[in-house]
């Protein structure tokens, strides 16, 4: 039996994950959920992939959001809090 049998990201490229996330959330919402500059300022698949491939912590956040999206297929059911939400000022 394959050691990857229970891994939902097995066989899914980072580019496919990112495309699915952009399709589901759009760049603006994706930039709110995973606060990295390449999602917030002049975003593109190419620049985001370059950054994510060099930055393990950011890639982990994108993969976690992708897994959450796959587990909850309906956009209306997605109530997950944003990663690194801004702290209230006061």
Cα 68 versus chain centre, distance:
9
pLDDT value of position 15: 95
pLDDT value of position 27: 95
Q: What angle do CA 58, 59, 63 make, to 5 degrees?
A: 120
What are the sequence ranges of the domains in the chain?
Answer: 14-73
pLDDT value of position 77: 52
Which tens digits make up the pLDDT trace of 38-85?
999 999 999 999 999 999 999 999 999 999 998 876 655 555 556 655
**Topology (CATH level 3) of domain 14-73:** 1.10.720
pLDDT value of position 80: 58
Q: How far is CA 7 from CA 62, 74, 87, in A?
A: 15, 21, 33
């Amino acid at each position: 039996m394959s050691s990857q049998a229970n891994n939902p990201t097995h066989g899914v490229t980072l580019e496919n994950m990112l495309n699915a996330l952009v399709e589901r959330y759009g760049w603006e919402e994706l930039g709110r959920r995973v606060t990295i500059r390449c999602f917030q300022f002049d975003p593109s698949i190419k620049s985001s992939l370059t950054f994510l491939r060099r930055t393990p912590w950011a890639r982990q956040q994108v993969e976690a959001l992708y897994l959450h999206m796959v587990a909850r297929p309906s956009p209306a059911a997605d109530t997950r809090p944003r990663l690194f939400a801004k702290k209230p000022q006061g």
